[in-house]
Every structure is written in structure tokens, then in C-alpha cells.
A = this chain, B = another copy of it.
Amino acid sequence: MSVSTPDVEANQGGRKVIELESVTIRLAGDSGDGMQLAGTQFTNTSAILGNDISTLPDFPAEIRAPAGTLAGVSGFQIHFSSRDIHTPGDRLNTLVAMNPAALKTNIKDLEPGGLLIVNSDAFGAGDLHKAGYKSNPLEDGSLANYRVLAVPITKLNREAVADIKLSPREADRCKNFFALGLVYWLYERSLEPTLKWIREKFAKNPAILEANTRTLKAGYHYGETVEALPVHYRVPKAQIKPGRYRKITGNEALALGLVSAATLAELPLVYASYPITPASDILHQLSDLKRYGVRTIQAEDEIAAIGVAIGAAFGGALGVTATSGPGVCLKSEAIGLAVMTELPVVIIDVQRGGPSTGLPTKTEQADLLQAMFGRNGECPVAIVAPCSPADCFDMVFEAVRLAVSFMTPVFLLSDGYLANGAEPWLIPKISDLPRIVVKHPTRPNSNGNGEAHFLPYKRDERLVRQWAIPGTPGLEHRIGGLEKEDVTGNVSYDPLNHEHMVRTRAQKIANIADYIPPLAVNGPPEGDLLVIGWGGTYGAITTAVERAQRKGYKVAQAHLRYLNPMPKNTGEVLKRYKRVLVPELNCGQLRLLLRGTYLVDAVGLNKVQGRPFLVSEIEEKIEAMLR
């Protein structure tokens, strides 16, 4: 979102203040430069200030590359606004580059005329060479299209902390806070929240505390004093639903959601996982929540992880496992076992760039058809997909609800963008959270020839079997992966029984459609175009569609958070629009399902770059289709 025309022109401290609706900035530097921390501080401050926010970190590839190299660049992007926003922003209004490598890898995202703040101390010949610059961009005119503010950040930071007892390394480590202070001034943010954080964080280390405090202020004052900055900016409070908020990433939301769902369902949570980017953080989060009764197991591989989850489910616990695409391959046989034995397990797939090892740190949506069909035989499972970081909380809750109330494995499809992206989360009242009621049977469920029997595959009207658990006297039974006889669950090779069971398993999943909300439409109930998506593209699609609507196009948006089964009204919604557009970060997977299921001539907008959609990309496609 580029700078909108100034609403207000004040004259304050001799400086112009320009009020803006939304701003997108990115802090970029070497992995060692602490950009993630500075970004987090800016985000928190802006949130407390009352802006709506959306952020996205950009980590370097998995291994720490040598300092100063392109591969070692780490960035943190913040979109803050006085309006309700849904994405971390397309183009940057301001870029802070702590070294040449950071400049080189990020400059392309800065809008023409955008503000570029660089640490000029880091542009020595060696630094330039490491970044592959033949000449110094600060001097060769290649940055002419931008407003460049070259600041000797290293030097100024050292001066700021000069008379504090610190090793040179420690001293230099503070420079991210100098930059942060400068940006705080630039956007009229109060230093207090960060100063408070510094006080708490470094309480045990007065020297560091003092150093960070001083350099933060020094950065701020530098902004005030230096002539080079004629204006600074103001982004007013946004209209936000009142309540207590926190910032949450998708992976955090999944962890919290799982603990909440288990607690409210009164089920012990057993989380078994094998580390894999970008899902590992869920394991890290949950391992730290043992006091909430969570049991985490780091298994020897993905097969073992889902095995543990299935075993836990057999024992009456909430069995959950998370992984990314390559791990889903390995879990697929065991998922089939859970389908055949009709045990509730939640499988989280934090999708990343594929195929094969692919792009482990990048985002993609290309595992949908794998989740639908990636198993032998007719093997239906339920699939849900959150649409934003905070929505991960609600949808993992749904995944748990569906798993235990339909005795089925449920896939939750997240992605690298949702996993690491953050947004404000209105902390829910516990009493407002859905209750999940689980009843393990305690007595036999039939009375064949006088004797009481337990029939493990006897079903209720929704076709769901009972969750009888070991330790219950009189309900002893055996389950397994061979085809089951209807009702008794005995092994059966009978042809008609097999057909009956295949169709029953399919119908049970289909029945879920009666227990999920219908597909909602954002925009006119009918019209020229429906833009339908799923997962993490929600924010970009929403923003694009709303812009197109403001331009007067008859376009609506629908977003599928339930992918199998789809909401009952999906087909009917699709038919209400002349054309259908399906933006996906894959080659058209949802599109195939919609076309095959509903015979609509859906068009795809497909991007497979390991990056989320830019709002503009979708906006252009919409206009191209309607113009």
C-alpha cells in the first residue's frame, strides 16, 4: 500500500508531520544483526499504539551463512495501519538495510521514491564484495529513485554506548536498537514499550540494559536533529474491536489451540512429532507447555510420530502430529490405518515449497491433493485449512472437534506464511470457546444371543463408531488394518461387506458437512466474478477483492476453510457468478477439485515462487477478467 496523499500537515518541532493510512516497512540486516528482535519491538509498540498490524519475517536459508553474504540476510516486514488490514503489505514505504547484502536482496521491494535508510559504516570494500557489488551503490547513482538516508549507524551506536563497560562485540550488538530508535522517531512511536522491555529483559545485566537504552534514545534523537529528514509520519489508531490482544503467529496459534481444545475436551494431549521446517516451532512451543498437561514426544521419524499419535488415540488421548510435505509422505500409510480403524488423530501439515526437499523455508499450497488422495485405496479424511495466523487457533480447534466427534483423522493444512506471519489476536474468553464433549463407552452396546457384547463397529446415526478404550472391563476388542466386518469389526474378505464399508467410510466424512458452517460470501450474492481460495491467501484475496469492489466491480469473495467435505452450499455459491477465479500458490489443486466436483469452468491464478501473493497480483487478474 503506497503512501496515500497527506491528510494533515502539521508543523511540529520544526518538522512536517504527514498522516498516513498505512505504512509498510522492512528492517533487513545480517542474521547476527538482530533484525527479528527490532521488528518484533516495532510491531508490539505499534500494536499498543492501536494500529492494526500484520508482519512477516524472512529468515535466511536453514544454515547460518557467513556474515555479510546474501544467503545470510534476515528481514522483518511490518505493515501497520489505521484501517483493518490482512497482509504484511506488498511494497515497502521504508527499508532499513544494515549492510550491502541486505540492500541488494531487499531493494527491489521498495516503492519508487521510498525511504531507504542504510548503515553507511557497513559499506566498506569487503562488505560490498561479499554482497557481490562491483561498485558502491551509495555512490554509483543506482539508488537515484529512492530517498536515501545514509547513517553511520555503527559509529553513532559506539559513541552512544562509549563509556559503558562492554566488549566491542557487545557494543556493536546494540546497533539494531539505534536503527529502531530512528524508525520510532520517523513514525512517531513512543519509546516506552521498548524501554520497558529492555528494563525487564536485561534486569540482570545493567551494562547491556544501559547500552540498549542509550542507543535507542540516540537513534530517536538523531532523527529529530538530523536535517536530512524533513518530514516524519503519523499513522493514527485503527478502529479495532475492543478487548485484550496479543500478537500471534500461526504456529503459536496452533500450539495454543491444541492445548485449549484438549483442555476443554478433557482429553490428555499427546503431541508426537519429528522436527521439520517450518513445523518444528509447534513442537518447541508445546514442549514448553508441560504444565498444561501436554505430553510431547520427539519421535525417531515421521512414521513413528503418527504411530505414537494413533497409539495415544487408541488409549483415549488426543493424538496429534505435525510435519511438512515430505513428512506427510511418510505418514500416509499410517493415516490409512487410522482411517480403517476409525481413530481420531489430527495431522498438521505446515506446507513448504516442493516437490521433494524443495524450498524448506518458503511457503506454498501444493499439498492439498496429497492430503485428499495421498494414500492407497479409497481413504477419505477430513481436511481443514486456516486462513490467517490467528485463524490457526480456531481451525485447529475445529480439527480436534471433527476428529473426536467423527472418529476420523483430520488434516489441518497450514503453510510457511501462516506459520511465521503474525497478527493481533483478540484473546478469547474461555467461556466463549466451543465445548467438545467426548464420551468413552463403559458398557457393552449389544445383546446378541443373551450375552452382552461390545461391537466396535456399531455406528450412530452419523455413522460414527464408539471410542472404547483399553482398561474398560467388558469392552475388550481388536481392531486393525484389514477390512472390517460391518458392526462386529471382525476381519472380513466378503465382497459386499467391503463395498459397504468403503461407502460407509466415505459417507461418514460426507456427513461432516452437516456440522460445519456454510460457505460465506464477502460481496454481492451474485455477480460477474467469484474469487474463491483456501488457506493463507485469504488476506491478499480479501484486500484485492475489496479494492475491486470499491472500484465498482461486481466481484465477491468466498474462502474455503473446510476442504473435505466442502460446505454444502459450495456448488450453489459457485453457480451464482458468471465466472470463477481460484488464486492458489500451486498449479491449480483446489481448481481441479471444484471443476471435477461441480463442473464449473473455474479459472486459476497460480503462483509457485515460495512467496505469498501480492495484493496487486490478484487485483490485476480480477480487473483483467472483468475489464
Contacts and interface: CB of A to CB of B under 8 A. Distances in A.
A495 B599 contact: no
Interface string A353-368: 1111111111010110
A369 B328 CA distance: 16
A586 interface: yes
A592 B586 contact: no
A372 B370 contact: no
Contacts of A379: 354-356
Contacts of A367: 376-377
How many copies of this chain does the complex contain? 2
Interface in A163-202: none
A372 B589 CA distance: 12
B373 A373 contact: yes
B373 A372 contact: yes
B353 A375 contact: no
A67 interface: no
A601 interface: yes
Interface stretch (A144-152, A213-221, A224-232, A329-337): A329-337
A536 interface: no
Interface in A483-509: 483, 493, 495-496, 498-499, 502-503, 505-506
A186 to B, nearest CB: 29
A608 B505 CA distance: 13
A328 B596 contact: no
Nearest to A495: B609
Given A333-B330, A595-B595, A358 B340 contact: yes
A354 B378 contact: yes
A617 to B, nearest CB: 12
Q: How large is the interface on A (under 10, 10 to 19, 20 to 34, 35 or more residues)?
A: 35 or more
A509 to B, nearest CB: 12
A328 B610 contact: no
Given A373-B369, A609-B498, A357 B332 contact: no
A61 interface: yes
A347 to B, nearest CB: 13
Contact of A370 (B341, B375, B502, B609): B375
A524 to B, nearest CB: 25
Interface in A242-276: none
A165 to B, nearest CB: 41
A607 interface: yes
A336 B359 contact: no
Contacts of A355: 336, 339-340, 375-379, 505
Contacts of A375: 325, 329, 354-355, 370, 374
A376 B498 contact: no
Give the interface centre of A341, A495, A505, A597 by most chain B CB atoms within 10 Å: A495
B493 A61 contact: yes
A3 to B, nearest CB: 26
B356 A481 contact: yes
B356 A340 contact: yes
A462 interface: no
Given A357-B340, A596-B595, A596-B596, A609 B376 contact: no
Contacts of A592: 596-597
Nearest to A357: B481
A376 B325 CA distance: 5
A77 interface: no
A611 interface: yes
Given A332-B374, A366-B377, A498 B610 contact: yes
Nearest to A330: B333
A383 to B, nearest CB: 13
Interface in A311-342: 324-326, 328-330, 332-333, 336-337, 339-341
B329 A333 contact: yes
A587 interface: yes
A324 B375 CA distance: 11
A330 B330 contact: yes
A498 B359 contact: yes
A608 B378 contact: yes
A437 interface: no
A482 interface: yes
A113 interface: no
A426 B38 CA distance: 76
A410 B597 CA distance: 27
A610 to B, nearest CB: 5
Interface string A516-540: 0000000000000000000000000
Contact of A376 (B337, B370, B593): B370
A470 interface: no
Contacts of A328: 376
Give the interface centre of A329, A337, A482, A505 by most chain B CB atoms within 10 Å: A329
A599 B594 CA distance: 11
Nearest to A482: B357
Given A339-B355, A356-B379, A366-B377, 17 more contacts: A325-B377, A329-B374, A329-B376, A332-B332, A336-B355, A354-B376, A354-B377, A355-B377, A358-B376, A359-B482, A359-B483, A359-B493, A499-B608, A502-B587, A595-B596, A595-B599, A599-B601
15 contacts: A328-B376, A340-B356, A340-B357, A351-B376, A354-B379, A358-B483, A359-B498, A378-B608, A498-B608, A502-B608, A503-B608, A506-B587, A592-B596, A595-B595, A595-B599
Interface of A: 61, 324-326, 328-330, 332-333, 336-337, 339-341, 351, 353-362, 364, 366-367, 369-370, 372-379, 480-483, 493, 495-496, 498-499, 502-503, 505-506, 586-587, 592-593, 595-597, 599, 601, 607-611
Shortest 10 CB-CB contacts between residues of A and residues of B: A354-B377, A325-B376, A596-B596, A355-B377, A357-B481, A495-B609, A355-B379, A369-B373, A329-B333, A356-B481
